[in-house]
Structure 1
């Protein structure tokens, strides 16, 4: 079954594609990863699950991703965060459970910070972070750069490398790396004021599971659970991984919803 066509929201002049499923609360908001889009396996699976359980579900593509406008190489964490905040504030009401995958986990943590600054932090009822990659530009990319890649970034402003997840290469720009440093979250205590559940594959070669454990160390105030999937890779998109995802989101719905208003979750 083909998904419905996307709708678009202009955020600072860039048309951002999104899909919204109406339903009850708490709503589910999907934040995808670097070079991924809202029609990926996990996002589609969650959309179907939300439909089955009468829950609202919202997802979008960052600029330069999927069906959104804009150039990928112009993207930064700040830009993609701004777009995520715009879509979130425009198309959600009441408490939301944010599910962030890979880079989307970083965007989710920054989303909480920015909403807290404007008095809307309470809108985030829970976080489910899949192979979260906070600070990946400075913590995972920059330390691995070869001298030749560093030279390319210095001289051309960017470098490319093949991606296992897309026919298009990964592009790392000097602007992205510099902006990543300005958005670091692994520099002190992170306080989300909501329950956090991390799903992490121990065979993940892109975001090592020790990176997720480090994130836990920076969340001393919140109620944090981490599930390590011993044979799981970065995608966590096998049938058993998808079942784990919906069990986790279902549990988060139960934890964050008063019993009398709790939806009947399948």
Structure 2
């Protein structure tokens, strides 16, 4: 589908790009992954579905991503969380389904915590794809080599090749340190809403054991885990997209 030009919301002096579609509640809010943007296949597929269903839909780019301002290397979970909350509060009405991909699943879980802490129960459900909550502490830090530790200490960041871009992945010391202040997998996670997790067993970036651990921390009667035998990290094949739409539609129906 052809996307319109983005709108911008100033968050702490940074222009955050967003796109929104009017429609019925509960609305759907897309939260992308690390170094992804809101024009990816999954977000565009959801936008098309929402338009056909007359469902409200909202998406944005974190600072340093896509069409938003700001430098990527200045990004942290706390900063991207604050931006996501600001966009949600400014541009949604009624209850919402948060759909988070990879790092976006971490942002979605933290948003749910922060909203409930503020007495706001607008999150009606979560759909998490290849979820990577706590990835800095659970996946990045345990794999640090001596060379990468040296880069973090001396340069403040390290780089590694990306399978999805010619540009390398950059992990900063600030991202890793801030990640420790945003951990969610340290005990029971009470979302107070249904959660559906989609996880590929052929994911080279986030092992399926991470999704199993996350599932074990969620209330059993409110969580569905769908393991996709040949699914990779992106989960962007036609059959994966069909599963995504089915999962979102089911939670929307339950919340509506």
After TM superposition, is the score higher than 0.5? yes
Gaps of 5+ in 1: 258-266
Look up the SS of the partner of 1:150 in the other structure.
Answer: helix
Shift of 1:221: 6.2
Look up the SS of the partner of 1:249 in the other structure.
Answer: helix
- Render the CA deviation track for 1:182-235: whole Å, top value 9, x for unaligned: 100011111000000000000001010110000011113660000000000000
Look up the SS of the partner of 2:186 in the other structure.
Answer: coil
- Render the CA deviation track for 1:74-106: whole Å, top value 9, x for unaligned: 000000000000000000010000000000000
Write the distance in 2 (CA, Å) between the matches of 1:16 and 1:166. Answer: 22
Write the distance in 2 (CA, Å) between the matches of 1:69 and 1:177. Answer: 22
What is aligned with 2:80?
Answer: 80
Question: Is the Cα contact below 8 Å between 1:194 and 1:222 reproduced in 2?
Answer: no
What is aligned with 2:186?
Answer: 187
Root mean square deviation of aligned Cα: 0.9
Moved over 4 A (4+): none
Structure 1, 160-169 or 44-53: larger mean CA deviation: 160-169
The total of aligned residue pairs comes to 256
Q: How does the TM-score come out when normalised to structure 1?
A: 0.95
Write the distance in 2 (CA, Å) between the matches of 1:30 and 1:44. Answer: 10
What is aligned with 1:66?
Answer: 66
Question: Is the Cα contact below 8 Å between 1:191 and 1:222 reproduced in 2?
Answer: no
Write the distance in 2 (CA, Å) between the matches of 1:188 and 1:239. Answer: 35
Write the distance in 1 (CA, Å) between the matches of 2:107 and 2:164. Answer: 19
